[in-house]
Amino acid sequence: MADDGNACKGPESSTDNYNEDDEGTIDMNTFFRARNTLLLTLVLAHMTAGSAELEEIVVTAQKRSESLQDVPISMTALDGKRMEDAGVASFSELARYVPNFSISENAVNTIITMRGISIGANQSFEQPVGIYVDGVHYGKSRHARNALFDIQQVEVLRGPQGILFRKNTLAGAVNITTAEPTLGAGTSGQVAVSAESYDGEIVEASANYSPSEKMGFRVAFKDRQREGYNDNGFANEVNGYATEMPSTDETMFRVTAVLQPTDNTTIKLKHS
């Protein structure tokens, strides 16, 4: 009988152990569900906050102001503030921040390449990438050596752009918009002085004046001096050639006037 009693106690003991394991399993499942729910909530909250911080990028690649997401063109857009922070002062430096786009210089020509398409060594050919500054076409390749200053936005369009930008845009186009006066902002200005390698000095200044919300003026100035990195052994005081090449000596200015008599009419005048 003792054996029968022990035999009867065995199932009871095992049943108690089963219940304890089952409760532990339920508690663990509840813990994992709560943890996953909390993580999912945090991820969704972070995504929502990130979406709220995104700003709309307005471009004029199709000759009108549009959101970048609505333009069906492969394009890279950079604003002037970001270019200023990155120290972008020329077209060749701009190419570092744009994929599938490069600019190389030699003694007599500037080669612009977009998606592997360029004029190569054929100096008499027209460039396959058009450069436009405030709607004005830079027809010669050496214009790409001009410095960039007081820029509002740069748009690099990849692919043929002949419909809107006409000739010499087989590979793409670079659309540059310079800074304009801020209407109704009163008087403001800034001055920046910086140094670079090879005894280089850069001085930039801009001033904004707006007497009313319908009229504004802006003046921008830049001066850059830099010695070359190659010693020219044939240069002397007689022939007048520079002893260090290639050197840089640039002085630029731009004057902009904006008149907005009505909400639908804007008159812009720029001289540089």
In this predicted model, what pLDDT tens digit does every residue of 181-211 receive, in sequence order?
Answer: 999 888 999 999 988 888 889 999 999 999 9
Q: What pLDDT is stored for residue 176 in this prediction?
A: 94
Put the strands of the sheet holding 172-178 in their side by side order: 74-79, 151-158, 172-178, 129-133, 136-138
Q: Quickly tell me which residue has 């063109």 as its tokens.
A: 73
The mean pLDDT value for 219-243 works out to: 80
CA dihedral 219, 272, 139, 124 (to 10 degrees): -120
Burial class (CB in 10 A: 0-12, 13-18, 19+), 167: exposed
Q: Considering the entire predicted model, what is its pTM?
A: 0.72
Greater confidence (192 vs 228) lies with 192
| Most confident by average pLDDT, 18-32, 104-118, 235-249, 253-267 | 253-267
- Degrees (nearest 5) of the Cα angle 9, 13, 17? 170
- Percent of the chain at pLDDT exceeding 70: 81
Token representation of residue 234: 């044939």
Model confidence pLDDT, tens digit, residues 74-92: 999 999 888 888 888 888 8
Burial class (CB in 10 A: 0-12, 13-18, 19+), 89: buried
Burial class (CB in 10 A: 0-12, 13-18, 19+), 161: buried
Of 56-60, 214-218, 242-246, 257-261, where does mean pLDDT reach its minimum? 242-246
